[in-house]
Amino acid sequence: MPLRFRPDLDRIEAYRPGRAIGEVAASYGLDRVIKLASNESPEPPFPEVTAAIARAVSGLNRYPDNARPELVQALARFHGVPAERIWTGSASNELMLITGLTMTAPGTSAVFAWPSFSLYEIATRAGFGKDLPVPLDADHRHDLAAMRAAVRPDTTIVYVCNPNNPTSTHVAGDELEQFIDSLPKDVLVVVDEAYADFATASDFRSMLPLAATRDNVMVTRTFSKVYALAGLRVGYAVTAPESIAAFRRIQLPFSVNALGEAAAIEALRHQDRVRQRVASNAAGIARLTTALRAAGVAVADSQANFVYAGFGVRAAELTEGLLRVGYIVRPVPPQGWLRITAGTEEEIEGFLEALRGLL
């Protein structure tokens, strides 16, 4: 007799990560593979962070403190928000899933842009809610008016990814704040700021100050991107203490591990290094955007650490051709578009050279 999995499971498409370096190297017989597919930092963690991780190893026989008081205090000081409004987790993916499981149920719905980060759909469907995807506008940006119109009486969550993955575009701070103001106060607005550290546009504004004061706003952040700690899985959110208490009913204990906590606390102390990396990312994005546009490729205006580029009918063939010479890029929706992470200067030049060969 077959096992009785929940009957709606077919509606949930498993998260599809970018292809792994080792697997591509083995499949294509390559010595060197450059991954530009998962929006990771092309640089290793800061040296002080590596040292902090090494120091924390000897304490691994103990469970970490479930409240992570040091990390919470460090984040509270860093952002100037009350410690009781900070919620930590095993990177922002976990926070998103737990939020979905806590806030959705049969008879509820969640609104988010499409294409956007796939976790919003997974979290909604895992919570038995109805997903209400709203197409981006012609400039690949969130269409906030259409998203407002999509909100129904049964909507409990609205997700805004700013800057948006996979399109790299942002919505202006004033526009986003007006949108948040326009929503019913019993709808939780989750502003996913995984890429906010990279945004340099003058009209970009983090919604952290709103999350620090309004109970229906949550901002999620991660150590996976600019802090170069994707492998350790540390993220956090700022929102109402009552919501955090609700989320913790479902969240696994100790979901930030001891090494992750030590690394994150140390990483926050090195904002000079963060600024350097943001600057080199901006240079890489400018180089990729200019070079691709010069080659006739449509590229969205990026405020993130990746570009969204339209290659039309050639996208699949180019993805394959790039793999054969050791560059992994990410096909993203809709068909014909690729997402390319800004690697190091050398990696970007190598990628552009390889692409020119194929074009």
Ligand X SMILES: Cc1ncc(COP(=O)(O)O)c(C=O)c1O
The residues facing 112 across adjacent strands are: 133
Contact between 342 and ligand X (CB under 6 A)?
A: no
- Part in contact with ligand X (CB under 6 A); list of ranges 21-29, 80-88, 90-98, 289-297: 90-98
> Count of residues for the chain?
359
**Residue listed under structure tokens 């002080």:** 48
By CB under 6 A, name the one of 88, 93, 155, 169 that touches ligand X.
Answer: 93
Q: Which of 227, 172, 146, 217 is nearest to 194 (CA)?
A: 227
Phi, psi of 190 (to 5 degrees): -100, 110
Subset of residues 110 to 139 that bind ligand X, contact rule: CB under 6 A? 117
Contact between 341 and ligand X (CB under 6 A)?
A: no
DSSP H/E element including 332: strand 330-332
Least CB distance to ligand X at residue 285 (A)? 16
Least CB distance to ligand X at residue 192 (A)? 5
Contact between 36 and ligand X (CB under 6 A)?
A: no
Least CB distance to ligand X at residue 165 (A)? 4
The residues facing 338 across adjacent strands are: 309, 331
Q: Are 42 and 285 in contact (CB under 8 A)?
A: no
By CB under 6 A, name the one of 144, 161, 218, 354 that touches ligand X.
Answer: 161
Least CB distance to ligand X at residue 179 (A)? 18
Three-state SS sequence of 120-162: HHHHHHHCCCEEEEEECCCCCCCCHHHHHHHCCCCEEEEEEEC
Contact between 102 and ligand X (CB under 6 A)?
A: no
Contact between 39 and ligand X (CB under 6 A)?
A: yes
- Residue closer to ligand X by CB (options 197, 352) is 197
What is the spatial distance between Cα 229 and Cα 280, in angstroms, rounded to a whole number?
A: 18
- Residue closer to ligand X by CB (options 224, 303) is 224
Contact between 168 and ligand X (CB under 6 A)?
A: no
- Part in contact with ligand X (CB under 6 A); list of ranges 91-99, 126-134, 211-219, 346-354: 91-99
**3: which 2 tokens?**
């096992």
Contact between 20 and ligand X (CB under 6 A)?
A: no
User: How many residues at the interface with ligand X, by CB under 6 A?
Assistant: 13
- What Rg do the C-alpha atoms of the chain give, in angstroms? 20
Least CB distance to ligand X at residue 57 (A)? 22
- Residue closer to ligand X by CB (options 227, 311) is 227
The residues facing 80 across adjacent strands are: none
Residue 61: CB atoms within 10 A of its CB come to 6
Contact between 91 and ligand X (CB under 6 A)?
A: yes
By CB under 6 A, name the one of 88, 104, 222, 305 that touches ligand X.
Answer: 222
DSSP H/E element including 298: strand 298-299
By CB under 6 A, name the one of 192, 197, 261, 266 that touches ligand X.
Answer: 192
- Part in contact with ligand X (CB under 6 A); list of ranges 206-214, 222-230, 311-319, 344-352: 222-230
Contact between 21 and ligand X (CB under 6 A)?
A: no
Residue 49: CB atoms within 10 A of its CB come to 25
Torsion 72-78-82-88 (CA) sign:
negative
Contact between 239 and ligand X (CB under 6 A)?
A: no
Least CB distance to ligand X at residue 118 (A)? 9
Residue type at position 132: L
Query: Using CA atoms in the order 15, 218, 238, 221, what is the torsion angle rounded to 10 degrees?
Result: 40
Catalog residues that contact ligand X under the rule CB under 6 A.
39, 91-93, 117, 161, 165, 192, 194, 222, 224, 230, 235
